Amino acid sequence: MSTNNKYASIRPLTIRDSSKAAKTLYKAFKTDVLSRYVSKHLEDQPEYRQKVDIALYEAYVYSHILRGLVFGIEYDPSSATEEVDDGTGISNAECFETVSLWAPPGVNIDDPITFARSYYKFAWLTGAAGRKRVFTTFFGALVFNFHDALGKEDNDAYALVYLASTPAARGKGNARKMLEYMFETHIDKENKLTYLESSSAVNIPIYEKFGFRWVRDMIIGDENDPNGDFARLNVMVRGNKALHDEKIYSWIIELVYGPNKETALLELGKKREEYDDLALVLWYSFGVMTSLLEEIVAVYPLLSPSNLNPNNSNRVCNALALLQCVASHLETRNLFLQAHLPLFLYPFLNTNSKQRPFEYLRLTSLGVIGALVKNDTPEVIQFLLTTEIIPLCLNIMESSSELSKTVAIFIVQKILVDDAGLSYICQTYERFNAVTGVLKTMVEQLVNQQTGRLLKHVVRCYLRLSDNVEARNILRQQLPEPLKDGTFGMILRDDGATKRCLAQLLVNLSE
């Protein structure tokens, strides 16, 4: 069982779970295009076909338990919907809600011994036609496309073989949880690629939200078959390696030694979304961090008096974007903190000019700090509490642009969510009063210019403050009236989450 409470419902499966997991896969993919293809030769024998399909899924599960990774989320009867007859004869209670099968990097799941142990039952049941479909056509295409799509990095990728939720469990966020669990505990931690084949194009935009990109389509069977006896799969890959891109190193050389430093900043910035390991290459390449700091320090004299022009602002913001890349990466975040690099951004946050170059500079600097706090890492909060980040954010929350206010209050909210952050702010009345004073000003501003994006953070900050006993007592007297009298009813009409937070805040203060 996962030790992280966020993933407490996920557990690794054992051989004893093979049959249950196979039934889960069958219920999830009963009408799937690939499922229909692999047993199409049995379409006139529906009951026997189901038996063969389940045997194949059980072989998948068994082999991946032996050589790969298989995880499941148990059926939860307390949140179950009414059972719907899907024609399988399998109840939800006989299944997991969600299962996932993974092939780790460099592991041959189907070595001869594992293959024989896993697939003997299916091979006997499906007959010669089924064996040809699965072992020759299907598996042959899978192996070819995996190696062809990844090239020399085929030993450096996790393969998502199956991610399946029963129809009754869809919409509960289990699939997202499974993916995030693997990213956090294995894939991103090891800086690996992720490979998958999706049997439905509808899933492409969903996987794209997790950083996957479509690579190609692969065809199982004959695409020109008049009876449609084929399956189309969408090959997708998450992650890429800046480490192997020679262009990255040419731009790094330009950044460190010139003469095209400004162009190098721009080009490297374009690669942030493309490469998961760009932060590592930037951090460990000689002279890069020094060059980025030189870009930042060079702007200091332009802050006061205000001589910052759009070109200066854009150039330093390109440098800040690369710092944000380093700050957000799991393996470089603590190194970034240990070098006290956030402190170099504070002069930018301490500016008050409303000119666009300054607003852009403040917003991009806040983005770096926002990237640090995004993952709720206690070490980040502990570091920030030793600096003046809270008063800097409060000043921006009070008088800057809406975008800058939104990022600044997001940072303050993340600090409050941490127990150490809440304790720090509530430790003295002066700190508490400074925070609530700015929140009150924001509420007054929102009455005249309502925006849900800001309001949700204001409400969540007040709600978190109400978790502190002494703060709660003061808030009973000081909570702004517009939060109590329904002033924001219209703006919250379609924001159920913030509406619930506000209701909980009022409950907390009434107790």
* pLDDT in 10s for each residue of the chain, 511 residues: 444 578 999 999 999 999 999 999 999 999 899 999 999 999 999 999 999 999 999 999 999 999 999 999 999 888 766 677 778 899 999 999 999 999 999 998 888 999 999 999 999 999 999 999 999 999 999 999 999 888 878 888 999 999 999 998 988 999 999 999 999 999 988 878 899 999 998 999 899 888 888 888 999 998 888 888 899 999 998 876 677 677 889 999 999 998 999 999 999 998 887 777 899 999 999 999 999 999 999 999 999 888 999 999 999 999 999 999 999 988 899 999 999 999 999 999 999 999 999 999 999 999 999 999 988 789 999 999 999 999 999 999 998 899 999 999 999 999 999 999 999 999 999 999 999 999 999 999 999 888 888 999 999 999 999 999 999 999 999 999 999 998 898 888 888 889 999 999 999 998 7
Length of the chain: 511
List pLDDT tens digits, range 290-349.
999 999 999 999 998 889 999 999 999 999 999 999 999 888 999 999 999 999 999 999
What tokens does 26 get?
């069958």
Last residue of some domain: 189, 222, 239? 239
Expressed as residue numbers, the domain containing 268 is 241-379
Which residue has 């996987």 as its token pair? 207
Q: What is the CATH number of the domain that holds 180?
A: 3.40.630.30
Which of 239, 258, 278 is the last residue before a domain boundary?
Answer: 239
Helices then strands (H, E): number in the chain?
23, 7
CA distances (Å), 254 to each of 44, 179, 284, in order? 66, 37, 16
Q: Which helix (H) or strand (E) holds 430?
A: helix 429-448
d(CA 158, CA 196) in angstroms, rounded, equals: 9
Alpha helices, DSSP H only, in 235-376? 246-257, 261-270, 278-284, 288-297, 310-328, 333-338, 346-349, 356-373
Question: Do 310 and 336 fall within a single domain?
Answer: yes
Q: Do 36 and 116 lie in a common domain?
A: yes
**Residue 281's CB: how many other CB atoms inside 10 A?**
20
| One domain, residues 233 and 319 | no
Is residue 76 located within the same domain as residue 141?
Answer: yes
- Domain assignment present for 34: yes
Helix (H, G, I), strand (E, B) or coil at 356: helix
Quote the number of domains for the chain.
2
pLDDT value for 149: 85
* Residue 185 maps to a domain: yes
pLDDT the model gives residue 348: 97
Note whether residue 129 is domain-resident.
Answer: yes
262 lies in the same domain as 359: yes
Contact assessment for residue 243 and residue 277, using Cβ atoms and an 8 Å cutoff:
yes
Cβ-based burial of 179 (10 A; exposed 0-12, middle 13-18, buried ≥19): buried
Does an H or E element contain 462, and which?
helix 452-465
Return the pLDDT at 1. 44
Q: Please check whether residues 245 and 226 belong to one and the same domain.
A: no
Q: Are residues 292 and 152 in the same domain?
A: no
Q: Name the strand (E) or helix (H) holding 213.
A: strand 212-221
Pairing verdict, β 193-198 and 69-73: unpaired
Give the pLDDT of residue 225.
Answer: 85
Are the C-beta atoms of residues 456 and 435 closer than 8 Å to each other? no
**pLDDT at res. 214:** 86
Model pLDDT, residue 213: 81
Distance CA 312, CA 177 (A): 42
In sequence order, which residues have a C-beta less than 8 Å from that of residue 440 and are 6 or more positions away? 478, 480
Q: Which of 239, 254, 279 is the last residue of a domain?
A: 239
CA distance 126 to 57: 13
Nearest Cα neighbor of 179 from 169, 170, 188, 166 is: 188
Q: Which helix (H) or strand (E) holds 188?
A: none
Q: Is residue 425 part of a domain?
A: no
| 219 and 181 belong to one structural domain | yes
Task: Give Cβ neighbours of residue 1 (< 8 Å, ≥ 6 apart).
Answer: 8, 10, 11
Same domain as 250, residue 228? no
Residue 192 neighbours by CB under 8 Å, 6+ apart: 105, 156, 157, 158, 186, 239
**Same structural domain for residues 12 and 85?**
yes
DSSP 72-126: EE---GGGPPPP---SS---GGGS-SEEEEEE-TT--TT-HHHHHHHHHHHHHHH
pLDDT digits (tens, 9 = 90+) for 31-86: 899 999 999 999 999 999 999 999 999 999 999 999 999 999 999 888 766 677 77
Burial label for 482, CB within 10 Å (0-12, 13-18, 19+), is middle
83 and 170 belong to one structural domain: yes
